[in-house]
Amino acid sequence: ALFSFLIGFLFALGLLIAGMAKKSKIIGFLTFNSNSNWDYDLIFVMIGAILVNTLLFWIIFKKDESLKI
């Protein structure tokens, strides 16, 4: 439980440092109408998280297959 808390805290700290926790960033990302400029910065955070998770899942499942021999 402590390890999960530390990982979550590190992720939240990264979001704060990058400025992704600002209300204006979130609203700008979720606003798709033609009257405003869409803020795409948050999509890079999401893509980075997907890439890291995909890599880790691939590594974990690869090790799991080698243990079944």
Distances (CA, A) of 45 to 4, 35, 56, 61: 20, 25, 17, 24
pTM, two decimals, is: 0.59
The 10s digit of each residue's pLDDT in 10-58 is 888 988 888 888 888 888 888 877 677 888 888 888 898 899 889 988 8
pLDDT value of residue 30: 85
